[in-house]
Structure 1
Amino acid sequence: MQGFYQRKKLIGAICGGPALLGASGILKKVTYTASLTEADKDYQFVMDWGNKADHLLVVDKNVVTATGSNYIGFAEEVLRQLSVFPPELKDPLKYFVSRHYSSRLI
């Protein structure tokens, strides 16, 4: 993973995935976010908590990280970083977001 980082290849991690970045040492070099917290004792030795930002999505250098609940935003940002659609296109994945829920049983 360090090779990808050093060659400036896009790296993405969501939810608990940033723990893999931490284990490889990448989190010492970037600001990131994750669904993990300092209370998750199993990860305390691989995470660089000082670089963790309290945001749903963080892009720093060639690393994109997001909390698990922000999977649509994460996917959109990865696609933007890969130039799949133009930067000025607003809400390109809006189709996948449901704003109305029905609790009616049939």
Structure 2
Amino acid sequence: MGNILCFISEDFADFEITLAFHKIKNVGNKEVLTVGYSHEPVVSESGLCYKPHITLGEAMSLQDVEGLIIPGGPIRDQREELTAFLLKLDREQKLLAAICNGPQYLGRAGILNKTQFTTSCSIERIRDLGVADPFPRDNYIHRRVVRDGHVITAQGRAFVDFSFAVFDYLGIYEGQKEERDQLYKDIMDR
């Protein structure tokens, strides 16, 4: 059983990934680890404090990683150790799943140059921020969720659909289609 990692950094959008990790851990029985630039706690968008289990440097030496999930958050700089880890996972064809502004990290690592993707971050927003656009816009598709091989991206408002795309990729509900479909219906019915 492999580890599913979650990259956390200051002001990350924790609400976008809680459903995914709840079911990955409790239905899929997978080990879930948070990974950060350091062991220092970070405060999420919701104001909750999270302490990374491991650093990106420590994650580089893990032998049993199935994938990495990246929540949204502010557009910000990217450190080399994150880029190196993303490129390692990409070479190994491990799950790379990012939601909202999270795909920015995949974009800066060059992974989206060969992959179709979506994001919540518009060209207009990038212009307003006055920063370099991390996204190769020729590969952008305006959809709630886009899966291209081992890469899953989603717009922030699509966190339920994102979670289910990750479940399907990881086989969380393998052999339990009715349970999976009922959960989706229960969440989505108003």
Common fold by TM > 0.5: yes
Give the Å deviation of 1:79: 1.1
Structure 2 equivalent of residue 20 of structure 1: 105
Contact 2:123 2:133 in 1 (8 A): no
> Which of 168, 181, 186 does residue 80 from structure 1 map onto?
168
Percent of counterpart pairs with the same letter? 27
Contact 1:38 1:44 in 2 (8 A): no
* Structure ranking higher on relative contact order (CA contacts 8 Å, 6+ apart): 1
Give the Å deviation of 1:86: 2.6
Structure 2-normalised TM-score? 0.48
- Identify the range of structure 1 (20-29 vs 83-92) with the bigger mean alpha-carbon deviation: 83-92
> Which of 75, 81, 93 does residue 183 from structure 2 map onto?
93
Give the Å deviation of 1:29: 1.1
- 1:36 equivalent in alignment to 2:121: yes
Structure 2 equivalent of residue 64 of structure 1: 152
In structure 2, what is the Cα distance between the partners aligned to 1:9 and 1:87?
22
Normalized per residue, the structure richer in strand is 2
Q: Structure 1 residues 80, 34: CA separation in 2 closer, same or farther (over 3 Å shift)?
A: same
Give the Å deviation of 1:99: 3.2
Normalized per residue, the structure richer in helix is 2
Structure 1-normalised TM-score? 0.83
Structure 1 equivalent of residue 142 of structure 2: 54
Give the Å deviation of 1:93: 3.1
Aligned residue-pair number: 100
Q: Structure 1 stretches of 5 or more lacking a match? A: 101-106
Q: Structure 1 residues 98, 80: CA separation in 2 closer, same or farther (over 3 Å shift)?
A: closer
In structure 1, what is the Cα distance between the partners aligned to 2:123 and 2:104?
12
| SS of alignment partner, residue 168 of structure 2 | helix
CA RMSD of aligned residues (A): 2.1
